[in-house]
Amino acid sequence: MDPEMLTVVNIREQLSWVHEKSVAATEKAKVLIEGAVEKAAVVRSYPTQRQKVVKRAVVIGGGIAGITAAIDLADSGLQVELIEKTESLGGRVLDKPVSYEAEDLPSLLNEKMKAVRDSKKIHVRFNSEIKQVEGCAGDFQVTVAAKGKEETIAAGAIIIAVGAQEERTDHETSERIIALSDFEKDLFKPGSLVAKGKSFVFILCVGSRTEERPFCSRVCCSDALLNALKVKEINPDSDVFVLYRDIMTYGFNEELYTKARDAGVIFVRYDLETYPKVEVVDSRPKITVRDPLLNEAFCLRPDYLVLAFGMDPSPAVAIAKTLNLRITEDLFLEEANVKFRPVDLPKDGMYVCGTAHSPMSISEAITSAHAAAARAGTLLSKDYLPARSGVAEVNKRRCSACELCITACPFEARYMDYDEMIAQVREHICQGCGTCTAVCPNGASTLRRYEENDIFAMLEVLT
């Protein structure tokens, strides 16, 4: 059935859920149905553009999420171009020795990297960057730059998995003040140097949950507690302090917190106003912190101070700029709909996974990658995409070629046909938002299903 010919009356949400008096609600339902019948009598069918689907996906970002999505798509028989800006795959997980979710993280990553290497369907482009994306769902033209050369790849779907990076804010420097990500690389290897220390202080939320970076990075607490537990396992007599604002060991990670307490890790809370003061005195860190329970400041002189930095969404901001995508107030990529389309981007045919979307753990990034690959695979399984229902169209006789709609369209779905001197609509890109109809000074731009005839036919009954 032509979806343009379908008229829906929403009796549940607009009637039974909002009216207590059933008789009045029934009367309203009758009128609304009558209006819909009148509208159905005048709606018309439209010729629609069909979009041929290029059976190839571009995955941007070769971290664990990007690799996972690429493998899933390749396993479905689809060609994948995996674009990685560095010279190796793995992203932030590449030399991370352990995770609180996967004890043998290197094996997990190696397995995935081997699957990429062995796949005949995945073509990896290292040291490559996305320069531009044109086209629409089913037929994108992705321009990739590498070694000073540019190449355009045709793809039906795009998955963005550019990840986030560690936000290393300014801090006192000393060989005894170490970022958590560096500390764990040493701690978990045989013959660890840092494990020879006798006292350790971990500061959580360094550079996170501030005015500039208001979000919680979700993984630093659990990572830090895993390291604190490892220190206690190697040297049960060591002194381990964790200075925290809130412990975000959500879900089953709460066990890390209870285990750390049982192992003798001492937790001291601080807030933004009483942020621990860090100095280096006699080559050793000196941390002054105020305990809110005792309401007293005290000093710690550990062998090692470990700083748990949060996530920096700069890669998401950069790709959003290149692809003209929306970002959230936390500067991550914004999905089309948080409940119903959580891995879809507002532009049809584009999907997001991993920490480009929001702070998440490795297992959550992998899960989101499976979801994004499933969504992209569904689109790529079709030979043709129909235009969506309710797109804009232009009345040729009324259009004065003023181009206001072209500038106003937030999805770049309008272009000027200079031969005909009228604005045209790329139906596969149009989201039916109606912005062009609002700005058109001549009433030349209309939305299918919301034309004057349709609306007035309904109003005749309702008024």
Residue from the set 241, 304, 309, 411 that interacts with ligand SF4 by CB under 6 A: 411
Regarding 440 and contact with ligand SF4 (CB under 6 A), the answer is yes
CA distance 87 to 366: 22
Identify which of residues 80 and 391 has a Cβ nearer to ligand SF4 in the complex.
391
For ligand SF4, give the closer residue by CB, 91 or 432. Answer: 432
Q: Which is nearer to ligand SF4, 146 or 406 (CB)?
A: 406
Q: How far is the CB of 424 from ligand SF4 (least distance, A)?
A: 9
The only residue of 405, 449, 457, 458 in contact with ligand SF4, by rule CB under 6 A: 405
Of 43, 57, 268, 430, the one binding ligand SF4 by CB under 6 A: 430
Q: At its nearest, how many Å lie between ligand SF4 and the CB of residue 4?
A: 15
Q: Which stretch binds ligand SF4 (CB under 6 A): 6-14, 172-180, 338-346, 423-431?
A: 423-431
Nearest to 389 by CA among 444, 429, 346, 448: 448
- Residue 414 as a binder of ligand SF4 (CB under 6 A): the answer is yes
**Touching ligand SF4, residues 382-401 (CB under 6 A):** 391-392, 394, 399-401
**Nearest alpha carbon to residue 400 among 445, 453, 449:** 445
Q: Which range in 178-186, 198-206, 297-305, 442-450 contacts ligand SF4 by CB under 6 A?
A: 442-450
Q: Which is nearer to ligand SF4, 138 or 197 (CB)?
A: 138
Query: Given the rule CB under 6 A, which of 7-15, 216-224, 236-244, 403-411 is the region that contacts ligand SF4?
Result: 403-411
Outline where 11-104 has alpha helix (H): 11, 22-42, 64-75
Crossing angle for the helix pair 22-42 and 452-462, to the nearest 10 degrees: 150
**Which window, 1-9, 73-81, 323-331, 424-432, contacts ligand SF4 (CB under 6 A)?**
424-432
Residue 407: CB minimum distance to ligand SF4, A: 9
**Residue 445 in contact with ligand SF4, rule: CB under 6 A:** yes
**For 344, what's the count of Cα atoms within 13 Å in the CB-facing half-sphere?**
15
Residue 300 half-sphere exposure, CB side, CA atoms within 13 Å?
A: 26
Phi and psi torsions of 231, nearest 5°: -60, -45
**434 is a site residue for ligand SF4 (CB under 6 A):** yes
Q: Residue 317: in which H helix or E strand, if any?
A: helix 314-323
Q: How far is the CB of 394 from ligand SF4 (least distance, A)?
A: 5
CA–CA dist 221, 206 (Å, integer): 11
**Alpha-carbon Rg of the chain, whole angstroms?**
28
Q: In 3D, which of 247, 195, 193, 190 has the Cα closest to residue 220?
A: 247
Pick the closest to residue 264 from 282, 284, 238 (CA basis).
Answer: 238
Structure tokens at 305: 């101070």
| Residue window 2-41: x/- pattern of binding to ligand SF4, with contact defined by CB under 6 A | ----------------------------------------
Q: Of the two residues 450 and 456, which places its CB atom closer to ligand SF4 in the complex? A: 450
Whether 126 and 84 have beta carbons less than 8 Å apart is answered as yes
Q: How far is the CB of 57 from ligand SF4 (least distance, A)?
A: 24
Q: Looking at residue 272, what DSSP letter applies?
A: G
Residue 335 CB-density burial (10 A; 0-12 exposed, 13-18 middle, 19+ buried): buried
Rounded Cα distance between 339 and 301, Å, is 48
Ramachandran assignment for 117, one of left (phi > 0), alpha (psi -120 to 50 degrees), beta (any other): alpha
Taking the complex as a whole, the smallest distance from the CB of residue 433 to ligand SF4 amounts, in Å, to: 4
CA dist 390 and 377 (Å) reads: 25
404 binds ligand SF4 (CB under 6 A): yes
Least distance to ligand SF4, CB of residue 240, Å = 56
The site for ligand SF4 (CB under 6 A) is made up of: 391-392, 394, 399-405, 409, 411, 413-414, 423, 425, 430-436, 439-440, 442, 444-445
